[in-house]
Structure 1
């Protein structure tokens, strides 16, 4: 970590005197001892659940965790920002640049360094406009992933992966033009990606266009909306057969926020791109308790559509719609915090960036689809003299699932264990659980069952930079399955024990 601090300090000292420097290194270091399921040992569940160990990952989280970030919370990582702002040679124009890097430590000891939407910005402030008003042009030279549509990270879209994972090698740069006034803003922007065209076996440029606006109708009420259009290339399977079938996507998102006593917050993963270092927010800053009542309620919705291969007609495509809704409510009264979180995602929304399931295909006619829905309630109370914060979270989830009239798993020649139609539970992008063909003594069709979860938490701040964190959670999930050989030696989906009891203990340092 000293290397990172030296890097930031060197960049700061190298800046010329008239410039405004806003460099920082924001670090979270996590030491974890955890077990995602103490009721199971190695090889007894799918995915595998080893015994208690040092280290943890997404398997140690619940469906309501990390709604506004892509990280599990157990990572050791740093956000390194080298920032420079200087007045231009022309009146009213200001120039800015920020090199933003994510430094992520891997369990094996390696370190990944990634661009975190570094940018160059030109801001023009017309005569008479306020200090925080202006017309800005922002260029993202490497990655425009943080330039997204949507507001809660879990259902945001339009990031680099909207062009599918085939665009990762060459990156997805972009640009954004925005007008910011005291009570409203509006923007338009675009991205490009290089993706191989399987018809001509050469890379081609794919384009994405985005636009949006927001208006503070009252000091306590904000309304926002945005939309976009993206090219995703050709359906690979059809292109190899000489059929040109383009995949294009479009959608709109909107949000209404009512807030009293607290500003409108942003997703943790959206915070790094800021137009002014005055409003840089530390990712890992401790919670503040100013006293009194404050609360915010937001309701967000998105509708997307993309063209995918029609499975029942060779060479044809058809649009597939996708919807998502998110409700977030937070309240703080002195040292008490309450939260309510609700989510609705159609299965097509979950698989939107793949795109589809199987990839680049719509669901066959007659497929029975069920969306993901969950509701979670949490509360905690801070004891300032002890620097101690206990809390709890309870939630129930109906996971997304589908049952196709024809087999869609196992390819054209599926193994015996996947012959026939089955209910498939989709927990997240490409995270599947195949249920047995029939359930119960009545031989009824297996259906996805609700998942129940409860978690007790505590946080004990030992100093300004180090805290001890603990979690104990119980989950009842009757959709857990694995493949085991039946009496004929054929591997078949088999239910596992639905009960899981786990814990996470952490020492976390932030600086």
Structure 2
């Protein structure tokens, strides 16, 4: 009986101990009321635009939003982190590990729990080296998705999807060896994935190798570069014909950053979560305005290539190149903040992880390809007494598109609505809008520029709760939906180009 009382007392003591807030890192509870287009009702657009409702998603964002994250910002989520760091039995060696789980609430009320790049790390620090210097080995037992190439998240690559979505069920673990000194770093790592081989009908191991380095040439100037090589299995379509055609991908990325008064920023979706009490991290602390001028400018680019099926030669493959570039500028002057963002992505880069369009195929010779390009500028001003920050963003986008030389959209026996060649707008990976065959008497339709403007405000009610409002207008003449013609055959028709939407958000972050 005495033993039971001791155990009960111990349990109550543990429960009454103050919880370390870092156990739940980047927790966001979002209460949203929004309408992505008040000018349209249910069934009038593609994708569908219901009336104003509680809840929002990617459909409520613009092309310049969330450039450095994979989330829309409207999710309710948390990262549960169990972290431990201890000195080893050997001088200079430190061990640490973090079990980090993403807890993501679905609109239905269900909860998805996913590994968020949990890791085990060994760090060796020779005598005389600085606190942040050392040689570290990091192992990712389940998912190495946060170990990526590239620098802005929108054009990063080499994450788990690099092996295509056929590898996600078995996980994509990996390892990274990094040497860090005061003004430079270098790393080498690798990943593996299990993917079905369509010839032997068994899973096989695919490998990926990654490496990179960075150097602070000056206190204000950093240069970084990285590259990788990845196996993606074999072309399924050719395997069904008994032909083994390997799909391999490789590429390089580089970045130059000039920064004054602010450190080099990193996407939160690149960082490894920890809840070390000695290094308390607040990922979404209210913005600080120390006064004066601070700014950063970064320019990055990537060139990738992969082997895909050659649609012009039976049983053959060919390399397909892919390019991307991004310019980011951020400045803060007293209570003002300014942002400039420019992006270039080739169509093959957008579809790189699929891979190709259609999957595992290159574009036929003669296909007209146009890249995605956009430019956006924004500014906001902070009112300290009201804890209010109003702002404005304006952007112009030329969406990616392609036009095949042959009428291949409808297959070998296309319906009347899909005869002839057409322009297809690609908004993101596998997000397509097929344009009509003719535009105002013209024999063809081409993708047109998209214009968007957004007014924003953020009202900080406390250090952890804020009210956010957005009103945006978009002019997009590439919107289409399929409707039956007089013969009963569905074919693409233009929607109204105007869209007016709003997002209101009450969000707690802790």
2:87 is matched with 87
- The 8 Å contact of residues 478 and 497 in structure 1, kept in 2 or not, is answered as yes
**Structural mapping, 1:449-464, within 5 Å:** 449-464=448-463
**Structural mapping, 1:281-292, within 5 Å:** 281-292=281-292
Deviates more, 1:62-71 or 1:486-495: 486-495
1:16 is matched with none
Q: Secondary structure at the match of 1:468?
A: strand
- The 8 Å contact of residues 146 and 273 in structure 1, kept in 2 or not, is answered as no
Q: Secondary structure at the match of 1:492?
A: strand
- 1:218–1:175 Cα change, 3 Å: same
Aligned positions, number:
498
Q: Deviations over 1:371-390 (max 9, x none)?
A: 00000000000101000000
Q: Deviations over 1:136-172 (max 9, x none)?
A: 0000000000000000000000000000000011000
Q: Deviations over 1:200-248 (max 9, x none)?
A: 0000000000000000000000000000000000000110110000000
In the TM superposition, what is the alpha-carbon distance from 1:312 to its structure 2 partner? 0.9
Structure 1 length-normalised TM = 0.94
Deviates more, 1:263-272 or 1:60-69: 263-272
1:482 is matched with 481
Q: Are 2:273 and 1:269 equivalent residues in the alignment?
A: no
In the TM superposition, what is the alpha-carbon distance from 1:112 to its structure 2 partner? 0.6
Q: Secondary structure at the match of 2:144?
A: coil
Distance 1:415 1:54 in 2: 40
- The 8 Å contact of residues 312 and 365 in structure 1, kept in 2 or not, is answered as yes
- The 8 Å contact of residues 11 and 82 in structure 1, kept in 2 or not, is answered as no
**Structural mapping, 1:142-153, within 5 Å:** 142-153=142-153
1:396 is matched with 396
- 1:239–1:43 Cα change, 3 Å: same
1:3 is matched with none
Q: Deviations over 1:44-75 (max 9, x none)?
A: 00000000000000000000000000100000
Q: Secondary structure at the match of 1:59?
A: helix
- 1:236–1:217 Cα change, 3 Å: same
In the TM superposition, what is the alpha-carbon distance from 1:408 to its structure 2 partner? 3.6
In the TM superposition, what is the alpha-carbon distance from 1:419 to its structure 2 partner? 2.1
- The 8 Å contact of residues 327 and 341 in structure 1, kept in 2 or not, is answered as yes
Q: Secondary structure at the match of 2:66?
A: coil
In the TM superposition, what is the alpha-carbon distance from 1:284 to its structure 2 partner? 2.5
In the TM superposition, what is the alpha-carbon distance from 1:81 to its structure 2 partner? 1.4
Q: Secondary structure at the match of 1:269?
A: coil
Structure 2 length-normalised TM = 0.95
- RMSD (Å), alpha carbons: 2.0
Q: Are 2:34 and 1:41 equivalent residues in the alignment?
A: no
Deviates more, 1:126-135 or 1:305-314: 126-135
Q: Are 2:89 and 1:114 equivalent residues in the alignment?
A: no
2:492 is matched with 493
**Structural mapping, 1:136-175, within 5 Å:** 136-175=136-175
1:50 is matched with 50
Q: Are 2:29 and 1:29 equivalent residues in the alignment?
A: yes
Distance 2:276 2:149 in 1: 21
2:240 is matched with 240
Q: Are 2:288 and 1:294 equivalent residues in the alignment?
A: no
- 1:83–1:98 Cα change, 3 Å: same
Deviates more, 1:394-403 or 1:408-417: 408-417
- The 8 Å contact of residues 151 and 300 in structure 2, kept in 1 or not, is answered as yes
Deviates more, 1:271-280 or 1:419-428: 271-280
Distance 2:394 2:292 in 1: 26
Distance 1:412 1:135 in 2: 58
2:468 is matched with 469
In the TM superposition, what is the alpha-carbon distance from 1:440 to its structure 2 partner? 1.1
- The 8 Å contact of residues 483 and 493 in structure 1, kept in 2 or not, is answered as yes
- 1:279–1:396 Cα change, 3 Å: farther
In the TM superposition, what is the alpha-carbon distance from 1:411 to its structure 2 partner? 3.6
- 1:440–1:432 Cα change, 3 Å: same
In the TM superposition, what is the alpha-carbon distance from 1:420 to its structure 2 partner? 1.7
- 1:234–1:275 Cα change, 3 Å: farther
In the TM superposition, what is the alpha-carbon distance from 1:466 to its structure 2 partner? 1.1
1:322 is matched with 322
- The 8 Å contact of residues 24 and 78 in structure 2, kept in 1 or not, is answered as no
- 1:132–1:435 Cα change, 3 Å: same
- 1:72–1:261 Cα change, 3 Å: same
In the TM superposition, what is the alpha-carbon distance from 1:491 to its structure 2 partner? 1.2
1:508 is matched with 507
2:6 is matched with none
- The 8 Å contact of residues 398 and 449 in structure 1, kept in 2 or not, is answered as yes
Distance 1:29 1:495 in 2: 38
- The 8 Å contact of residues 272 and 280 in structure 1, kept in 2 or not, is answered as no
Distance 1:372 1:291 in 2: 37
Q: Deviations over 1:261-291 (max 9, x none)?
A: 0000001211235797766643322212122
Q: Deviations over 1:305-344 (max 9, x none)?
A: 0000000111100000000000000000111000000000
| Structure 1: gaps (5+ residues) | 1-8, 14-19
Distance 1:65 1:185 in 2: 31
- The 8 Å contact of residues 101 and 116 in structure 1, kept in 2 or not, is answered as yes
2:10 is matched with none
In the TM superposition, what is the alpha-carbon distance from 1:406 to its structure 2 partner? 1.5
In the TM superposition, what is the alpha-carbon distance from 1:294 to its structure 2 partner? 0.6
2:334 is matched with 334
**Structural mapping, 1:76-225, within 5 Å:** 76-225=76-225
- 1:32–1:425 Cα change, 3 Å: same
